[in-house]
Structures are given as structure tokens and as C-alpha cells.
Amino acid sequence: MQYTQQLAGRALMFASAMFAANFSVWTLYAVLGVEIREQLNLSATEYGILLAAPILSGALLRFPAGLLVEYVSAKKLILLQMLLLLPVLFLLPYIESYGAHLLAGLWLGVSGVAFVLGIRYISPWFERRQQGTAMGIFGAGNAGAAITLALAPAIQNWFGREWIGPVYGFGIVLMLVLFECFAPEETRYMRSRGKVNIHHHLRPLMQIKVWRYGLYYYFVFGSFLALLLWLPNYYLAVYGVSTPAAMALTLLFVALSSSLRALGGWFADRYGARTVNWSVFWTCLVCLFFLSYPPTSMTIHGVERDVHLNIEVGIELFTLLLLVIGIAQGFGRASVYKTLHDNFPAHMGSVGGTVATIGALGGFTLPVMFGIAQDLVGIHSAAFMLLYGVLAICMLAMYLAIRREGYQQRLAFARENNFLQEESADSVALPDR
């Protein structure tokens, strides 16, 4: 037992490090995109598409990867996935055109499947009561984005932009070697799973609640991805800060949100995933209401003179509200996967891959919609107006689901205790009295 716990701890540690390394590659365009936009003079929509390119391919690959990992060793697939990343990282210095950057971004998206593979790798090592905490610790690998926001600008300042790709390539090589040498081999259960028919893994996808959980993850993870990509340019455009300051403020958002994901998993284990989810949504709804409000000038015609009011969210309040949202999103990402394991413990590859795909598609679609909204409306805060609407849909779906489940529970209780039958008998006997 002691030995198994040690192996589980080692599996979690190296899987989390692997995920952080891959996530840092997946979000590399958050830094590179700012300079590419200036160099190629991109519109907000073109910039959003560029940022979303790695997220799109990563999202689309997550579902097939989730199915494949049910039949093939997760450790072997993780090693293969990191090998596939190396060529594009070493080719980055030679890419110049917008189209080539888009293609490179799609290739970098291979790093996005590390989450699905890693979740399937670690889940059998832990008991059900530990799943929320374990997945929260693993999910803290989102901090890989913070590594990129800190490391990529430093590499650019010290050696030049052309060295960013190769340095990341050498980092992935190092991670690949460490994972191969020190991550424990998978359990007998994981090695024998290929005997299960594929219909066993696809069957849960017919349940509406899988897609509802995907909608929740679309917000808590998809909007997190979208914001970490969008924020550097937002700080530059709205508040006029320097590029290092914009990166530092975005880094603070990412680091805080990612590091507290493990605490969110513990809360989900202790207080229930649904309670955590509902609290997360309400917290984000309040913060997004204020972030959505555009800078406004108002003139009030008084008795003796006009009163001029300027209403806007300053950088201090903006950053504070953003950090609260980041913390809430970190809790939400952990609680959604705790919910998945509670409901589908034997389908973490297929169901987890589906939900992860939907969440990552949020990271693709939202930056594009941010750009389109900004170009059409002409207001920077249009991005937060859009997120407010997405969150409202999530909360409505969750409210209706709770109502429906409550009704079904009361109906089942009534049937078990013959309430409906007795009520029917009373209504027939009433005229004879």
C-alpha cells in the first residue's frame, strides 16, 4: 500500500510537470502574437484567429486522443505527443508570413492533448475521495501559461525572438526524457483496458449531462484560455501600459488561477462539486457585470450648472476583478472534472476527452468572437459583455438541470412509497363516502 501511494505521488508529480510544459507551448502565441500583430499590422479579428489557431487543433484532437488512450498506454501516447511537437518548435525562427504562422499554430496545438492523456494516466492511481484533489493538482499545470508569459519575453530580450522556439524545443526534449525515465509504468488495469468494446466508451455520450458539463467547462476553461491570450493586448490598448507590464499583469492572472485549482479540487471533494460550480458562476457573473461597463462620459444638467461625470473601470479595479474571476475559474475547472469522475469513473478517456474538447473550443471561438465584437461594436469591453452572455447561458442550464433532477427525485420517492397509487385510490373512493 505504501509503495503504491509512492508510485501514485510520483505519477502525479511527473504528469503535472509534463502538462505544464505542454501548456506553456500551447499558449506560446500569447507572447509571440503581440509582436506578430505589430509586424504584420493585423486587425482585431485576424489577431483573434492567430491566437486561436493552436487552441483549435488542440481542441479537435482531444476527443480522438481521449478514445485512443482507452486502448493504448497513456504513457506511450504522452511520449509520442511530445515527439510530434519538436519539429515545429525548431522551425519557428524561419516563419514569416501570416499564413505560415497560422499553420505553425495549428501544429503547436498538438500540445493541447496532453491534458486528456494526463488525466487518463493519473485517474486510476487514486481513490474516488481523492480524485478532486489529484485532478486539481494535475490541472495546476495550467501554470505553464505563466511560464510562457515570464520566460518567452526573457528569451526574446536576452537572445532574440528567433531563439524562443528552439529553447522551448530543448525544454520539451528534457521533459520527454524525464517522463520516460521517472514516471511510473501504468497499472495492470490500465494495460488491460483495450479489451472493452468501443461502444462501452461512446455510450455515455448519449447522456445530455455530459454536454451540459462540457458547457460549464466551455466557460471555466475556455474563457480562461481566451483571456490569457487576449489580456496582454487588452492592457496595451486600453490602459497604455508597457509590454513587460502587460505580460506581468497577465502572468499574475494565470498564476493565481492555476495555482488555486488544486484548492478547488479539495473544496469539491469536501463540499461537493455542484456547490463549488454554483458559487463560481455567481462570483464571475458579478465581476463580469462591472468589467462589461464601457468608459462613459455623462452630463447632468443641474439647476445652476452642468455636472460632468466620467465613469470607467481603472486598471487597479480591473485587475482586482480579473483576479477574482481567475480564482473562481480555477475552482470551477477542478470541480467540473470532479463531477465527471463521480458520474463516469470508467469513462474518463471518452467523457473527459469530450468535455475537454468543448472547453478548448471555447479557447478557440472566444478570442475570435472577441475580435469580431470589438471590430463591430468598437468597444474594448465588448469581450466581457460576450463572456457575461455565455455565463448567463451556463447558469440557466444548471438551474434547469437542478430543477429537473429535483422533480425526478420527488417523483421516484413518490413511486417507491406508493404515494401516487394511494392518491389515485382516494380519488376513486371519495364519491362513495
Cα diameter, the chain = 96
Spatial separation of the C-alpha atoms in residues 404 and 276, rounded to whole Å:
19
Spatial separation of the C-alpha atoms in residues 101 and 134, rounded to whole Å:
36
Cell of 230: 487576449
Provide the pLDDT for residue 67: 83
Spatial separation of the C-alpha atoms in residues 348 and 67, rounded to whole Å:
9
φ, ψ (nearest 5 deg) of residue 144: -55, -30
Spatial separation of the C-alpha atoms in residues 174 and 115, rounded to whole Å:
19
Does the pTM of the predicted model rise above 0.85?
A: no
Which CATH number is 2-191+200-427's, of 3.30.70.260, 3.30.360.10, 3.40.50.2020, 1.20.1250.20? Answer: 1.20.1250.20
Spatial separation of the C-alpha atoms in residues 230 and 359, rounded to whole Å:
17
CB atoms within 10 A of CB 136: 26
Residue-range domain boundaries for the chain: 2-191+200-427
φ, ψ (nearest 5 deg) of residue 227: -70, -40
Cα distances (Å, whole numbers) of residue 130 to 154, 204, 340: 38, 23, 13
Provide the pLDDT for residue 187: 66
| Per-residue pLDDT in tens (0 to 9) along the chain, 433 residues | 555 678 888 889 999 999 999 989 998 988 888 888 888 888 878 888 888 889 889 988 988 888 888 788 889 999 999 999 999 999 998 988 899 999 999 999 999 899 889 988 887 888 777 777 787 788 777 888 888 888 888 888 888 888 999 999 999 999 999 999 998 887 665 555 555 677 777 788 888 888 888 888 899 988 988 898 888 888 988 898 888 888 889 888 988 888 887 788 788 888 888 888 889 999 999 999 999 887 777 778 877 788 777 778 889 999 999 999 999 998 988 888 888 878 887 777 778 778 888 888 888 888 888 888 888 888 888 889 999 998 998 888 878 877 777 777 777 777 777 665 544 444 444 444 3
